[in-house]
Chains A and B, each alone.
Chain A
Amino acid sequence: MKKIIIITMLLSLCLMIMTTGALAQEPQYGGTLKFSMYSSPEGLWIPARGASTYDVNVNNMVYEPLIQLDKNMEPTIPRIAESWEFNDDKTKVTFKLRKDIKFHDGEPLTARDVWYTYTQIGHIDYEGTHMAYNSYLKGFDAFREDESQRGKALDYEAYMSGEEDYITGIQVINDYEIAFESTDYSSRMLADRVLGIMPYHIWKDVPIKNQHLAEELEKPIGSGPFKFEEYARDEYVLLTAYEDYYLGRPYVDELIWAIRDQEVALMELEVGELHLAEFDPNSYNLIEGFEELDVYNDLSPVYQYMGFNLQDPKLTLKTRQAMAHAIDRQGIVDSALLGFGEVVETPIVPFHWAHNPNLEGYDYNPEKAKKMLAEDGWEMGDDGVLTRDGMKFRVELLYPTGNQVRIQSAPIIQQNLAEVGIDARLNMTDWGTLLDKTERRGVPFNADQFDLVLVGLAGGVVPDQSAKYHSRNIPDGNYVGYSNEEFDKMLDDALTEPDREKAVKLYWEIQEVMSHDLPVLTLYSPNRLTAVSSSIHNVRPEAVEDNDWRAFGLVNIHEWWIED
């Protein structure tokens, strides 16, 4: 009963019919859900610190967040927080917590634990990547520089008695109410409250500095649907069902992630050794004959783009626009992605609430491209390469090893550019070398470092584009060197606009400017392909998972059950 499930407006109807069909059967308790992942987690089961996707997969099952993102990447789904309320100027949000949530060791989850989870971010010994989750809160800067905290753990009693301030913007009101207050309005305020909540009573004596060495990591305690059981590096992570999960005990008894090679994982699915594996379009041929699995073809927030070195005198505005018309992006989707993806005109992906669907974009039109290049002063030379002011149009297309689809797209782009008279030389390097050439840190930006670069990014929950395109971030994040004062202001305004409708409008304008100016040309967004064994019921892949949307939507994992 193999079927390919495409999550679109039209086909979700079919999906509903299919799931109702499945619901007619009575769910069964028991069994072990067997998932695969491709690399071993770092074993840093501390949601507040940030780690690899693989760690996030596990953390999402063991820990429960305050709130969760919906499928448009809006933080609207209540989890531990049953409700929340903003003050009038939207600088403060107060969460009301559910009172029926217990940690895996039986201790109730209260505001104290939420306070602990968030306050550690910004501590002087904090070693993590989530600093931005708190950076706009009141008192954050003072706390971050507080030398007297060095080597210490967080002390809740000292905080409650007023002895220690910690972050003044994180305020415990009572056991089941906690508020976050920022200096100015920030659109991130809610979206950043998606981290798994850690138990204070377990961690209270561990200095922040020593967290990663703590024995508490051997068997982390959370309040999520599964309890942590065992981790064997490069082999598996084993979790067991949490009887007292507040949304109901999971139907399955165990959840295990086996660390597997991609092709092998798909074959193991077919023989029933595994139940779920994500895979690349390249592997699609392999599973075409497989009977025992369903394929979920789902949108992803990842997009690939081609960055232009804007300091390069060859890559003027009209030339960039012409190149956009010259590149057959649909062709890349059809051949390299086998159609499992779509061309995108903006870095804000189509299912995001801030996505602008009205962009005209750039259709594949080599004739138009040639005309535009001629208008921009390029003349065809005898060797078939364009020339302007005595300068040949020769560029280097830089791209990293790793992503197979991206590697396959490079020669297509080279071919497309050659057709309009642009000579692009391919240069594949390892990731470290590529970063050295693009985001070379502390070195003044110049035209020689690179010409064109192919890279991918996962679009953020917050649609802000400042890190990559605000002129203050040249040359670090904004390594293409895009500098537009008016655009900077639009970015700042959008980020601090409390009114949702006005913010959407601002983001639409931002996308229009980007689509016109082309600091980068967005190429395509690959779909996320997941194979799931047909014996698993109640799979709802459309749900976006936590702060890392690369993980298959496991939001209702407690409802999944295995048919014998």
Chain B
Amino acid sequence: MRSYILQRFLLMIPILIGVSLFTFFLSRMAPGDPLMHYTDPDFTQEMREEMMEKMGLNKPIYVQYISWLREALKGNLGVSLRYRSETVVHLIREKISPTIALTLTSLILAVFIAIPIGIYSAVKQYSIGDYIFTLGSFLGISVPSFFLALGLIYIFSLKLRWFPMAGMQTIGSRGGGFIDILRHLVLPVTALTLMRLAAFVRYSRGAMLEVISQDYIRTARSKGVTEKIVIFKHALRNAAIPIVTMVGMSIARLFSGALIVETVFSWPGLGKLSYEAVLQRDYPVLMGTTLLVALMVVVGNMVADITYSLIDPQIRYD
């Protein structure tokens, strides 16, 4: 087991280098540059080239990559081209807690709501309850997230005035405290949970359905095991593997942030940071956030793999 984990860790190095290589060249080859939004006619071609040189963007791409990699290995991901006074590491550190607060809360909520619903839907397949949940999850999948977010704001903030509309704290409150942040968290978390919920319900229902039709479930039932034990001990344990995979894959999304929800609710998170880095061709930030997500995908997969062996003794890594 230990050597397996070590092996997976070592494998991360070529994967991350591959991702960085790919992202670096792809982003540099895309049309545009960090100065493309300077449309002031006074800003001449000559000045533009001078600025590019000062930012070190006029060298051949491979030279830029090598110097980026050399610094990155030392833990220095460079300085943002948009926020000139901030390093990439600082920016990511600044955005990571608001994002985790948002995404982790909604992931936990989604998992704990979705799995029971999924089980119920699978066990009571084609019941009215199943139809309602199926319809609900299709709605959840098909409603655009900005619409859902704006709808929540319209109903719960504008009309009912129960919750604040946007931001992480009350405007001008100068750090209104924990309760204030919690109140601001309610609507974005609800939006994000509803969006994730739909997919999770479908997933766990499917996983459960497949298991329930297996022979060993029929055997268990026929030898007189109570339905409760059949479902929660025999079936759920076996359906858990695809569900764990699903949750494991979601770990990366904890760190990629949630662009639309973050934008509508003005939540200062990583999703917005990386999206704006793409729009502004802020290459160093783009590299930083992409690598973080890539790292989390690899780690998430690894965690899922290790969890498999805990759930299912048949799976062993030697």
Q: Which residues of A contact B (CB under 8 A)?
A: 32, 34, 39-40, 42-44, 50, 125, 127, 129-132, 212-214, 217, 230, 232-236, 238, 254, 256, 258-261, 263-264, 267-268, 270-271, 273-274, 430-433, 435-436, 441, 457, 460, 467-468, 476-477
Residues of chain B contacted by A238 (CB below 8 angstroms): 172, 174
A217 to B83 Cα, complex, angstroms: 12
In the bound complex, residues from chain B placing their C-beta under 8 Å from that of A258 are 166-167, 171, 266
Tell which of B36, B167, B168 touches A431, judged by Cβ atoms closer than 8 Å: B36
B233 at the interface (CB under 8 A from A): no
Q: For B51, list chain A residues within 8 Å (CB).
A: 127, 129
Q: Which 9 A-B pairs have the closest CB atoms?
A: A432-B32, A467-B41, A234-B268, A432-B31, A132-B42, A212-B84, A436-B31, A433-B31, A476-B45
Residue of A nearest to B38 (CB): A129
Q: How many residues of B contact A (CB 8 A)?
A: 53
Whether B39 is near chain A, meaning CB under 8 Å from some CB there, is: yes
* B172 and A264 contact, CB distance less than 8 A: no
Contacts A44-B85, A271-B165 given: A467-B263 contact, CB under 8 Å? Answer: no
Chain B residues whose C-beta falls within 8 Å of the C-beta of A230 in the assembled complex: 174
Complex A-B: 10 CB contacts under 8 Å: A39-B276, A43-B84, A132-B44, A234-B273, A263-B264, A267-B154, A267-B158, A268-B166, A441-B48, A467-B44
Q: A233-B94, A264-B264, A433-B31 are in contact. List 19 more A-B contacts (CB 8 A).
A: A32-B172, A42-B82, A44-B84, A129-B47, A131-B47, A233-B268, A234-B273, A235-B169, A256-B171, A260-B167, A263-B264, A264-B166, A271-B165, A430-B31, A432-B32, A432-B33, A460-B42, A467-B42, A477-B45
Residue of B nearest to A32 (CB): B172
Which A residue sits closest to B47, measured CB to CB? A131
* B-chain residues with CB within 8 Å of residue A42 when the two chains form the complex: 82-84
Option from B55, B85, B263 in Cβ contact (under 8 Å) with A43: B85
Nearest CB on B from A398, distance (A)? 13
Contact A127 B166 (CB under 8 A): no
B172 contacts A254, CB within 8 Å? Answer: yes
CA distance A163 to B10 in the complex (A): 60
Chain B positions within 8 Å of A212 at CB level: 84-85
Per DSSP, chain B at the interface is loop
CB-nearest residue of chain B to A432:
B32
Tally of contacts, chain A with chain B, CB under 8 A: 137
Contacts of B45 in A (CB 8 A): 441, 476-477
**Is the beta-carbon distance between B171 and A129 smaller than 8 angstroms?**
no
B 122-161 to A, binary, CB cutoff 8 A, 1 in contact else 0: 0000000000000000000000000000100110011001
Query: Complex Cα distance A554/B229, Å?
Result: 70
Give Cα distance in the complex from A241 to B224, angstroms: 78
Q: Does B86 contact A (CB under 8 A)?
A: yes
User: How far apart are the CA atoms of A110 and B44 in the complex, in Å?
Assistant: 32
B196 close to A (CB within 8 Å)? no
B281 at the interface (CB under 8 A from A): yes
Question: A-facing mask of B156-195, CB < 8 A → 1, else 0?
Answer: 0110010011111101101000000000000000000000
- Are A234's CB and B41's CB within 8 A? no
Q: In the complex, what distance in Å separates the CA atom of A476 from the CA atom of B54?
A: 21
A230–B175 Cα distance when bound, in Å, is: 12
Given contacts A233-B268, A261-B264, A430-B31, contact A34 B36 (CB under 8 A): no
Tell me, in angstroms, the Cα distance from A468 to B43 when the chains sit together: 12
Query: In whole angstroms, how far apart are the Cα atoms of A271 and B164 in the complex?
Result: 10
* Cβ distance B32 to chain A, nearest Cβ, rounded Å: 2
Chain B proximity of A427: nearest CB distance (Å): 14
Given contacts A42-B84, A435-B31, contact A271 B158 (CB under 8 A): yes
Q: Which of B31, B86, B265, B276 has the most CB of A within 10 A?
A: B31
* Residue of B41, B95, B168, B172 most packed against chain A (CB within 10 A): B41
Q: How far is the CB of A129 from chain B (nearest CB, A)?
A: 5
Taken residue by residue from 14 to 54, chain B's Cβ proximity to chain A (1 for < 8 Å, 0 otherwise) reads as 00000000000000001111001111111111011001001
Q: B272 within 8 Å of A by Cβ?
A: yes
Residues of A within 8 A of B95 (CB): 234
Cβ A435 vs Cβ B268 within 8 A: no
Contact with A along B255-268 (1 / 0, CB 8 A): 00000000111101
How many Å from the CB of A145 to the closest CB on chain B? 12
Please report the C-alpha to C-alpha distance between residue A431 and residue B153 in the assembled complex, in whole angstroms: 31
Chain A residues closer than 8 Å to B161, beta-carbon distance:
271
Return the chain B residue nearest A265 by Cβ: B166
B42: A residues at CB distance < 8 A: 129-132, 460, 467
On chain B, the residues within 8 Å of A217 by CB distance are 85
Q: Please, how many angstroms separate the alpha-carbon atoms of A46 and B48 in the complex?
A: 19
A405 to B143, CA, bound (A): 25
**A466's closest neighbor in chain B, by CB?**
B41
Nearest-CB distance from B177 to chain A (Å)? Answer: 15
Is A236 touching B39 in the complex (CB atoms < 8 A)? no
From A129, A254, A435, contact of B40 by CB (8 A): A129
Expressed in whole angstroms, the minimum distance between the Cβ of A33 and any Cβ of chain B is: 9
